[in-house]
């Protein structure tokens, strides 16, 4: 059973606009959530994280929001740039583990110039 | 500083053959992980080494998969015999001794196709 779900396989936005990538989870025991970014032929690269005790974490153009009651998190990219075009994975370390990451299927973001 | 490297980048083999994937972690990283992404699905954890010891191999699909990390440096993942469902991208990641998930650095992956 998939514990981390990304229901949108792809998203297309215009340069300069906001990109919103969504992620839902089923395991209420998750303590942290992470977003990874992946370019073709490369491995995933850590982007930003959020602890379950927070509802927002911001790093430059990237902000992650966490809604625990809805078991939902989202990654906002503002403003979006063509270089942001990549696959974005939502992930969480499995309960009691600080290393075994559970990933979603990923969302392909395309930012059009 | 060199990143995590994996070899080969691509491998095409026939069902029943053997394939060995190699991962060289970042120098000094005690933790080494293997993950796999089957096409269209999520990236799944396979196993975790701390130095040369297998800390957790709960994600290994079956006994056709064998991972080793002799000497605590590079690691190999052998699939023998390979089946069609083994096709996918195999990622290796590494992290420092005191770092956990936040500091996992991934390699570019090995794309395995079993025909």
Size of interface A-B (CB pairs under 8 A): 65
Candidate from A49-58, A95-104, B1-10, B65-74 with smallest mean pLDDT: A95-104
Does position B102 have pLDDT exceeding 80, yes or no?
no
Instruction: Indicate yes or no: CB of A43 within 8 angstroms of CB of B102.
Output: no
**Residue A106 Ramachandran class (φ > 0 left, ψ -120 to 50 alpha, else beta):** left
Q: Is A83 helix (H, G, I), strand (E, B) or coil?
A: helix
Of B91, B100, B106, the CB nearest to A99: B100
**Residue B55 structure tokens:** 């800390």
| B40/A99 Cβ within 8 A | no
CB contact B108 to A (< 8 Å): yes
> CA quadruple B13, B15, B19, B23: dihedral positive or negative?
positive
B chain contacts of residue A27, beta-carbon cutoff 8 Å: none
pLDDT grade for B103, boundaries at 50, 70 and 90: confident
Give the residue on A whose Cα is nearest the Cα of B58: A100
Q: What gap in Å lies between CA B86 and CA B89, rounded to an integer?
A: 9
Bridge partners (DSSP) listed for residue A91:
A34, A103
Quickly tell me which residue has 């977003």 as its tokens: A35
Residue B101 has pLDDT above 70, yes or no: no
Given CB atoms, is A1 within the 8 Å cutoff of chain B? no
- For residue range B46-57, list pLDDT tens digits in order: 999 999 999 999
Cβ neighbors of A68 (< 8 A, separation 6 or more) are A28, A52, A55
Q: What is the mean pLDDT of residues A37-55?
A: 94
């Amino acid at each position: 059973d998939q514990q981390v779900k990304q229901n949108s396989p792809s998203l297309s936005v215009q340069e300069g606009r906001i990109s919103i990538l969504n992620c839902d989870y089923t395991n209420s025991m998750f303590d942290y959530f992470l977003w990874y970014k992946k370019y073709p032929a490369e491995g995933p690269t850590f982007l930003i994280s959020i602890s379950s005790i927070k509802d927002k974490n911001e790093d430059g153009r990237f902000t992650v929001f966490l809604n625990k009651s809805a078991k939902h998190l989202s990654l906002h990219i503002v403003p979006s740039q063509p270089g942001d075009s990549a696959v974005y994975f939502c992930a969480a370390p499995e309960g009691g583990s600080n290393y075994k990451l559970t990933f979603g299927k990923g969302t392909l973001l395309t930012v059009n110039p | 500083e060199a990143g995590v490297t994996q070899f080969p980048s691509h491998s095409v083999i026939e069902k029943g053959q053997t394939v060995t994937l190699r991962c060289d972690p970042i120098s000094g990283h005690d933790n080494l992980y293997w993950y796999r992404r089957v096409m269209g699905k999520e990236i799944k954890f396979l196993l975790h080494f701390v130095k040369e010891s297998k800390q957790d191999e709960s994600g290994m699909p079956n006994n056709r998969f064998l991972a080793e990390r002799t000497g605590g440096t590079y690691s190999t993942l052998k699939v023998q015999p390979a089946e069609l469902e083994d096709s996918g991208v195999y990622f290796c990641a590494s992290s420092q001794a005191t770092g956990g998930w936040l500091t996992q650095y991934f390699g570019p992956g090995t794309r395995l196709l079993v025909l």
